[in-house]
Structure 1
Amino acid sequence: MVEYETKLACNLQGEVIHGKRIFSKLFWAFNASIEGFPFCKRMIQVDGTWLYGKYGHILLIAVAQDGDSNIFQVAFAIVEKEDAEGWEFFLKHLRNHVVKEDGVCMISDRVIALLSLIDKDDSLWKPPHAYLAYCVRHIAANAKTRFGNNQIRKEILDAVVQPKFDARIRKLRRHGQHVFDFANDIPRERWSQAYDEGRRYGHMTTNLAEAINFVLKGTRHLPIARIVWETYFRLGKVWSTKDKKLTLG
């Protein structure tokens, strides 16, 4: 499944070159991923990373996890910027072609452009259609950057996986009311294991998505068409290996 957009071509003076268009956005998901996703855990992780070299675009990815705890690649997109327009393009086609059922949890960083889309009245990525959860490592890193205190970072990471979440958050007051307010203002259901009703399947970070980003690191300097081919061949190898295991097992 491939979806793409182009835009008008302009010269260096900003004048439109009639009859020519240039690449803008691309979304793709392979049939094995589309057919296999309904059998995965009802959770996806999304993340974005820069391309290198000539094409200064953003690679967006969505991954899931199957019942054997294997990473399950879901979909990819290449957009010009990690802004509202780029995320809207990705999420629209992800919903239309792959994540069609309601109730899926989506784990992401707190990207402002992404959050603004999800909070729209007509969004299909908020309850009851979907449930947003935050990568807690990202929250902890934000806290360390803001307050310059690594102990605060550690306490936030400890709090999210403990049943006494509220009590641990209140203890942050000893670092100052502003530290408590930072943590308390984040909706609990979006980052605490005690309040997520099991929708995250224990996944507190976007590690799965970041693992795929790492695998593709060596391809991100290539032309865009070649990046698509690389995802095809790499996934083809994965599906072939899984098929052999099932056949032999």
Structure 2
Amino acid sequence: MKRKVRDEPGYKPIAILNEVQRKYGVELKYYTAWRCKEKTMYDIHGDESNCYDKLRRYCRALKLNNPGSCADYEIDPQAQKFLRIFISFGNSILNFHRGCRQMICLDGTHIKNKYKGCLLSAVSKDPNDELYTLAYAIVDAENDRNWEWFCNKLKEILVYQNGGLLKNYTIFSDRHSGLIKAIPLAAIAPTRQEFEEHISLIVQSMPRAESFIRDLDPNRWANAYFSGDRWGIMNSNQVDCWNGWVKDERSLPVPSMIDAIRIKIMKMIGNR
């Protein structure tokens, strides 16, 4: 199974069970298949519990060999446990300023390895309207504290490459996981009058939603009230595409995950 797991890190023990049954007619217990997957991951990537020590060396090597890159790694000083790591490559930052739209999509997705965590990302679109990776981070959890840290790091690289000045950027994000389905009907209203008409229809059909909708700042999600540039984008689907693009890598130990994403970014830029 080693070749299969190396090509598909997200290959699950249940898939191992099914493949062994189909190929050889042998029925394995789930625990046996799970041990097979664990042993294979160990042979390929080493001991996952000790792999976080590699991140310090990785950050130093990245800054040394890829000038202009940002690679910051933090641990809990008391517990001596991994907290988070932020990665943005020098050329990714430089070319974002040279030709990408002044818009950034932010999102987080769950990591599927043994120790879990969350993968945060900042992506944009290049002049050909294709997905562009600006930065990503691995954190212990998706919470306000880690998002604030991520955004501050993002601000640092944007200001540094722009001569100490911060341009106006349009930020797209999925701010609430539980938005009611009817709200997008109002989000595409081009005028305030149409917006209010749509909202009235929603409130009539769902009275309990009124306070929820009214408490949201329409400047941040409704076309009719948004004063910035939307760059022709109505949602954050592009960052969802990025999450799917790194689906297999999210099953790897953290150092391997970071480097596998680096390789994917390099190949994408090379192909373009």
Q: TM-score, normalised to structure 1's length?
A: 0.72
Q: Does 1:182 align with 2:219?
A: no
Give the SS at the match of 1:4.
Answer: strand
Q: CA deviation at 1:108?
A: 1.1
Q: CA deviation at 1:176?
A: 4.3
State the distance in 1 between where 2:113 and 2:127 align. Answer: 38
Q: Does 1:167 align with 2:208?
A: no
Distance 1:25 1:162, change over 3 A: same
User: Which residue of structure 2 lines up, in the alignment, with residue 157 of structure 1?
Assistant: 184
User: Which residue of structure 1 lines up, in the alignment, with residue 267 of structure 2?
Assistant: 237
For each residue in 1:166-202, what CA deviation from the matched residue of structure 2 results, as whole angstroms up to 9, or x when unmatched? 2211222322443233223211111111222352223
User: Which residue of structure 1 lines up, in the alignment, with residue 40 of structure 2?
Assistant: none
State the distance in 1 between where 2:235 and 2:111 align. Answer: 22
Q: CA deviation at 1:208?
A: 0.8
User: Which residue of structure 1 lines up, in the alignment, with residue 141 of structure 2?
Assistant: 81
Bigger Rg over Cα: 2
Alignment counterpart, residue 142 of structure 1, candidates 153, 168, 179: 179
Q: Which structure dedicates a bigger proportion of its chain to strand?
A: 1
Alignment counterpart, residue 90 of structure 1, candidates 145, 150, 169: 150
State the distance in 2 between where 1:89 and 1:229 align. Answer: 22
Please tell me whether the aligned partners of residues 44 and 107 of structure 1 are also in contact (alpha carbons under 8 angstroms). Answer: yes
Q: Which structure dedicates a bigger proportion of its chain to helix?
A: 2
Distance 1:25 1:180, change over 3 A: same
Q: Give the % identical residues.
A: 29
Q: Provide the aligned C-alpha RMSD in A.
A: 1.9
**Unaligned 5+ runs, structure 1:** 11-20, 112-137, 144-152, 243-249
User: Which residue of structure 2 lines up, in the alignment, with residue 107 of structure 1?
Assistant: 172
Please tell me whether the aligned partners of residues 169 and 184 of structure 1 are also in contact (alpha carbons under 8 angstroms). Answer: no
For each residue in 1:13-70, what CA deviation from the matched residue of structure 2 results, as whole angstroms up to 9, or x when unmatched? xxxxxxxx33221000111210011221111111111111222111100001122211
Please tell me whether the aligned partners of residues 82 and 140 of structure 2 are also in contact (alpha carbons under 8 angstroms). Answer: no
Q: How many residues align?
A: 194
Q: CA deviation at 1:83?
A: 1.4
Give the SS at the match of 2:138.
Answer: strand
State the distance in 1 between where 2:220 and 2:268 align. Answer: 32
Alignment counterpart, residue 49 of structure 1, candidates 102, 109, 112: 109
For each residue in 1:89-129, what CA deviation from the matched residue of structure 2 results, as whole angstroms up to 9, or x when unmatched? 21111110136623111111225xxxxxxxxxxxxxxxxxx
Distance 1:176 1:158, change over 3 A: closer
State the distance in 2 between where 1:165 and 1:202 align. Answer: 19
Map 1:17-28 onto structure 2 (within 5 A). 21-28=80-87
